[in-house]
Chain A
Amino acid sequence: MSKALRAGLWILISVAGAGALSAVALRRDEPINAMWIIVAAVCVYVVAYRFYSRFIAFKVMGLDDTRATPAERLDDGRDFVPTNKWILLGHHFAAIAGPGPLVGPTLAAQLGYLPGTLWLIIGAVLGGCVQDFVILFASIRRNGKSLGQIAKEEVGPVAGLTALCAIISILVILLAVIALVITNALKSSPWGTFTLAMTIPIALLMGVYLRFLRPGKVLETSVLGFVLVMAAVIGGQYIAQAPRLAALFTFDARALAWMIIAYGFAASVLPVWLLLAPRDYLSTFIKLGTIFLLALGILAVRPTLAMPALSRFVDGSGPVFSGKIFPFAFITIACGAISGFHSLISSGTTPKLITKESQARLIGYGSMLAESFVGIMAMIAACVLQPGIYFAINSPAGIVGSNPAAATAMISSWGYTVTPADMQNLSRMVGEQTMFSRTGGAPSLAVGMAHIFARTLGGHAFTAIWYHFAIMFEALFILTVLDAGSRVGRFLLQDLLGHVWKPLARTSWYPGVILTSALIVAGWGYFLYQGVMDPLGGINSLWPLFGIANQLLAVVALCVATSILIKMNKARYAWVTVLPMLWLVLATQTAGFQKIFHPDPRIGFLAEADRLSGLVSAGAVPVDKLAAVQRQIFNNRLDAAVTGLFVLMVLVILIECAREWLAILSHRKIPVLCEAEYQVTSYK
C-alpha cells in the first residue's frame, strides 16, 4: 500500500472514531444504537494500538528484538518455552478476562451508558493497556519475575513486602465479592443451581479422562465437557419444572454461601488434575466461545440502547451502588478499563513464553484492548434492557422492598416505568421464580445476553435456555477464579508466613497446606457471609471495596513501572505511567476516604455504623434483630478498617517509590537496574 493511501486510511479511521465517539457522548434526544458504541470503541482501539502502543514500545521502553527473551535463553521445555505469538495472545487473554469486565459495567450502567463506556475506552487505552504492557516488558527483562519480586528489587524490601500483603488482601476481597455474585445469581434458582452443580461431576469426569485415558488432550476433553454442560443447561429446565426435584436444588443465599465456601476449600487442597484444571479448561473453552458469540450477536441484532446516556443517579443516590460518578464510576469498573490484577498475570506465565520483545505489544497492550471490548459488550447487554427492568433486577430489597407492587411503584417513581406484570412476564420467560432484587449484576447481564442471543438464534422460546446458559457461563468462570484464586492465595500466604516460620512455606507439608488454605478460605468466606447477611445485598459495600483494592494494586504496578522507567533514564517519558497512576491515586483515595468517612450512611461505612448504633441505643431495634444489627455495626467498622488498610499500604509504596525517584532524579543515587544481562538472540 502506498504511503499516501495508508495515511488516508488512518485519517479515515480516526475521523470515524471521533465521529462515533461524539455521537455517543453528545446525542441526548433519542435512543442511540449500540453500533455507535462499537464503532467508537473499535476505532479508538485501532488508533491507540497503531500509534500509542508503538510510541510506548519503541520510544519509551525501547523494545529490542536483538535481545534474547527468557523463553529463548532459559528454554527448559516446561516453564520457559518460545511460543507462537497468536497462541500466546489467546492464552494471555484467557487468563486476564474473567467475570470482572462483565459485572463491573453492568453495575455501572445505573449511571447511564455514557460514564462507563467512556471510562472503559479511555481508561483502557491510556491506563489498563499501558500497565499490562509495561509490567509485561519489565518482567521479560527480569527473567519472568513476579510483581512482588520486581518491587522488592527495583524499589526496596519494604515495598516488596507491602506489595505481597496488598496482593493477598486484595485477593481475599476479590474472591468474596465474586462468590457473592454467584450466590445472588443462584439464590432460589433450581435450574441455575442444578446446572452449576452438574459442572462439578462433569469436571471430575474430565479430570479422570485427561489424567488416565487421554493425557494432555485438552481440547477434545473440553468439547466433551461442553456437550455435557449443555445437556445440563437444557436438563435443568425439567428439574425446575418437577416440584420434588426442584426442591432438592433450591437454596437460600446462606446455604449457597456455605456450599461455595466448602467447595473453595476442597478445590484448594484436592489434587489440581482432579477438579481445578479440568474446570479451568471447560471454562476457558466456554468463555472464548461465548464472548465470540456475544460479539456476533450484537453485530447481528444491532440493538438500540434503552438506558439513557446519563441516568438520574449521577447524583450519587443510585440503588445499585451509592456515590457520584467521581470517584465511584471509576471504582465500579476496574476490570475492562484498568485492573491491577492483570499485573500479576503479566508478570507470571506470559513473560516466560514470549519469543521476541516486540511481541509484548500485541500480547500486553492488545489483549487488554480485547478485555476492554468485553466490558463494552457487557455495558451494551445491560443497556438494552428497559431501565425499569434493569433497576427492578438490580435494586436490593433493602431499598425497594420485597413487595412487587411497591417495588415497581418506587422504581416507576424514579422515572423508569415498570409494572409487576412486566416482571412476572420476564420471570416466566427466563424460567425463574422471581427476577426482583437479583443483585450482583450476573442476572441482569444474563437477561441482556439472552435478549440478544434469542433475537439471533431460536427466538423467544429459547430465552430461558439462553438465560441459563449465560448464568452458567458467568458462574462457571467465577468458580474457576474462586478455586484457582484460593489455591494461589494459599501459596502466597505460605510464602509470606514462611518468613515467620520456615515449615509453613513448604508446599508439601500437609498441616501447613490445610492451615493456609483454611485461612484464605475463611478470609473470603467471612466477607461473603457478611455480604449474604447484609440487608442491602452486600454488593453495595463489597463491590466498591473490591474496586478500590483492584485499582490500588494498579497504582502499585504503575508505581513500580515508573521507577523502572526513571531508572532506565527515561524520566522524560515517565508521564506514560505517571498520569494514569495519578488519576487512580485520586480516584481510589477519594473513594477510600468517602467509603470510610462520608456522612451519608449509604456511602460511608462509619456513618452507617453510627446510624445503626444510634438505633440500638434509642431502643428502636427489636430484640430478635439486635444480634444481627450488632453484627452489621461490626462489619461496617471492619470494612472501614480494611479500606483504611488498603489506602495505607498503597501510600507506603507510593512514598517508598517517590523517595527513590527523587534520589535518582536529583543525582543523589546512581540508578541500578536489576535487568537480566543482554544476550543476543539467535532468532531471525
Chain B
Amino acid sequence: MQFLIKVWNMLGQVMGEGEYLRYCEHMRARHPELKLMTAREFYVSRLNEKYSRPNKCC
C-alpha cells in the first residue's frame, strides 16, 4: 500500500503537482516581503508560461 502511495505521488509530481507548494516555500524563504499568488493564480500563470515554448514532441 505504501508503495502504491509512493508511485501515486511520484506520478503526480511527474505531471506537475506540488509546483505551488514549492513556489510558496521558495517565496517564504527568499522573498517574505512579497505577496503570494493564490493557488489558482499560480496555476493559470504557470500554464501560460509552460505552453508558450516547445513542450511536446512528435
Query: Contact at B43–A488, with CB atoms within 8 Å?
Result: no
Q: Which of B43, B53, B58 contacts A348 (CB 8 A)?
A: B53
A339 to B16, CA, bound (A): 25
**Contact of A218 with B by CB under 8 A:** yes
A489 to chain B, nearest CB (A): 9
- Using Cβ atoms and an 8 Å threshold, which residues of chain A touch B58? 98-100, 174, 178, 334-335, 339, 341, 481, 546, 550
B 36-58 binary contact with A (CB < 8 Å = 1; else 0): 00011011101111111111111
A485 to B57, CA, bound (A): 8
Query: Contact at B26–A79, with CB atoms within 8 Å?
Result: no
Q: Which of B23, B40, B51, B57 contacts A335 (CB 8 A)?
A: B57
Query: Contact at B17–A84, with CB atoms within 8 Å?
Result: no
Q: With contacts A216-B19, A216-B39, A277-B51 known, is A90 near B57, CB below 8 A?
A: no
Q: Which of A77, A90, A276 contacts B27 (CB 8 A)?
A: A77
B44 to chain A, nearest CB (A): 5
- Using Cβ atoms and an 8 Å threshold, which residues of chain B touch A91? 14, 16
Q: Which of A216, A284, A345 contacts B54 (CB 8 A)?
A: A345
Which of chain A's residues has its CB closest to B24's CB? Answer: A77
A339 to B57, CA, bound (A): 9
**Contact of A78 with B by CB under 8 A:** yes
A275 to chain B, nearest CB (A): 11
Size class of the contact patch on chain A:
35 or more
A40 to B10, CA, bound (A): 30
A 534-574 binary contact with B (CB < 8 Å = 1; else 0): 00000000000010001000000000000000000000000
Q: Which of A78, A95, A210, A281 contacts B49 (CB 8 A)?
A: A78
A 97-130 binary contact with B (CB < 8 Å = 1; else 0): 1111000000000000000000000000000000
Q: Which of A79, A81, A215, A485 contacts B40 (CB 8 A)?
A: A215
B7-44 contacts to A, CB under 8 A, are: 8, 10-17, 19-20, 22-27, 30, 39-40, 42-44
Q: With contacts A210-B43, A216-B20 known, is A480 near B56, CB below 8 A?
A: yes
Query: Contact at B53–A95, with CB atoms within 8 Å?
Result: no
B50 to chain A, nearest CB (A): 7
Query: Contact at B54–A277, with CB atoms within 8 Å?
Result: no
A97 to B49, CA, bound (A): 21
A466 to chain B, nearest CB (A): 23
Size class of the contact patch on chain B:
35 or more
A288 to B56, CA, bound (A): 14
Query: Main secondary structure on chain B at its contact with chain A?
Result: helix
Q: With contacts A77-B23, A78-B23, A273-B43 known, is A219 near B15, CB below 8 A?
A: yes
A285 to B20, CA, bound (A): 20
A84 to B6, CA, bound (A): 14
B25 to chain A, nearest CB (A): 7
- Using Cβ atoms and an 8 Å threshold, which residues of chain A touch B23? 77-78
Which of chain B's residues has its CB closest to A83's CB? Answer: B13
A95 to B55, CA, bound (A): 6
Query: Contact at A272–B54, with CB atoms within 8 Å?
Result: no
- Using Cβ atoms and an 8 Å threshold, which residues of chain B touch A653? none
B4 to chain A, nearest CB (A): 13
- Using Cβ atoms and an 8 Å threshold, which residues of chain B touch A334? 58
B34 to chain A, nearest CB (A): 11
Which of chain B's residues has its CB closest to A99's CB? Answer: B58
A480 to chain B, nearest CB (A): 6
Which of chain B's residues has its CB closest to A349's CB? Answer: B55
B52 to chain A, nearest CB (A): 5
A75 to B23, CA, bound (A): 10
- Using Cβ atoms and an 8 Å threshold, which residues of chain A touch B47? 272-273, 276-277
- Using Cβ atoms and an 8 Å threshold, which residues of chain B touch A219? 8, 11-12, 15, 17
A63 to B45, CA, bound (A): 34
Q: With contacts A281-B15, A335-B57, A341-B57 known, is A77 near B22, CB below 8 A?
A: yes
Which of chain B's residues has its CB closest to A90's CB? Answer: B14
- Using Cβ atoms and an 8 Å threshold, which residues of chain A touch B24? 77
Query: Contact at A77–B25, with CB atoms within 8 Å?
Result: yes
A250-287 contacts to B, CB under 8 A, are: 271-273, 276-277, 280-281, 284-285
A557 to chain B, nearest CB (A): 13
A341 to B55, CA, bound (A): 10
Q: With contacts A211-B44, A285-B15 known, is A96 near B20, CB below 8 A?
A: no
**Contact of A146 with B by CB under 8 A:** yes
Query: Contact at A349–B27, with CB atoms within 8 Å?
Result: no
- Using Cβ atoms and an 8 Å threshold, which residues of chain A touch B51? 272, 276-277, 484, 487-488
Query: Contact at B15–A284, with CB atoms within 8 Å?
Result: yes
Q: Which of A218, A272, A488 contacts B17 (CB 8 A)?
A: A218
A 222-246 binary contact with B (CB < 8 Å = 1; else 0): 1000000000000000000000000
Query: Contact at B46–A78, with CB atoms within 8 Å?
Result: yes
A147 to B52, CA, bound (A): 15
Listed by A's residue number, 6 A-B pairs whose Cβ atoms lie within 8 Å are A77-B22, A79-B49, A95-B57, A284-B14, A345-B55, A484-B55
Interface residues of B (CB under 8 A from A): 8, 10-17, 19-20, 22-27, 30, 39-40, 42-44, 46-58
Interface residues of A (CB under 8 A from B): 75-79, 81, 84, 86-87, 90-91, 94-100, 146, 174, 178, 210-212, 215-219, 222, 271-273, 276-277, 280-281, 284-285, 288, 334-335, 339, 341-342, 344-345, 348-349, 480-481, 484-485, 487-488, 491, 507, 546, 550
Known: A87-B14, A487-B52. 12 other contacts (CB 8 A): A75-B26, A81-B19, A216-B39, A219-B8, A273-B43, A273-B44, A277-B50, A284-B14, A344-B57, A348-B53, A481-B57, A550-B58
Of all A-B residue pairs in the complex, the 10 with the closest CB atoms, nearest first, are: A77-B26, A90-B14, A100-B58, A219-B12, A344-B54, A77-B23, A484-B56, A215-B39, A215-B43, A87-B13
